[in-house]
Amino acid sequence: MIGRENIRETIEFFFDVIEREPSSDDLEAKLRLALDRLALAVNYAVYTFDDEGYPEAKRREYTEIRDIVSERFPDCGFYNISRKR
């Protein structure tokens, strides 16, 4: 069950799948689940934007994470598109 109380767990699950989960036959299925959970969790996020009390988030260099994801999920391109079988 996804709810406001476990948004962080959902995000951590996603990063575990793309960065740390051992390769397996069901790795892409776990990726689909992680992405579905993220899409659902965004509906439960409640926040108040505070641009004075908190610094801007650190910029992340996506080249490194893109390289990891490309290697771990070679059948996924820029978009997950269906293929004729």
Question: Would residue 57 count as lying in a domain?
Answer: yes
Counting the structural domains of the chain, the total is 1
Domain span holding position 18: 4-72
Look-up of token digits 């650190």: 58
Question: Would residue 78 count as lying in a domain?
Answer: no
- The dihedrals phi and psi of 47, each to the nearest 5 degrees, come to -155, 160
Mean pLDDT value across the chain: 81
pLDDT of 55 over the 80 cut: no
Question: Would residue 62 count as lying in a domain?
Answer: yes
Question: Would residue 82 count as lying in a domain?
Answer: no
The pLDDT of residue 85: 55
Contact yes or no for 34/73 (Cβ under 8 A) = no
Question: Would residue 22 count as lying in a domain?
Answer: yes
When pLDDT is cut at 50, 70 and 90, the band that residue 78 belongs to is: low
Question: Would residue 24 count as lying in a domain?
Answer: yes
| pTM across the whole model | 0.68
4-37 pLDDT, tens digit each: 778 889 999 999 998 887 888 888 899 999 999 9
Q: Compute the average pLDDT of residues 44-71.
A: 79
Written in H, E and C, the secondary structure of the chain is: CCCHHHHHHHHHHHHHHHHHCCCCCCHHHHHHHHHHHHHHHHHHCCCCCCCCCCCCCCCCCHHHHHHHHHHHCCCCCCCCCCCCC
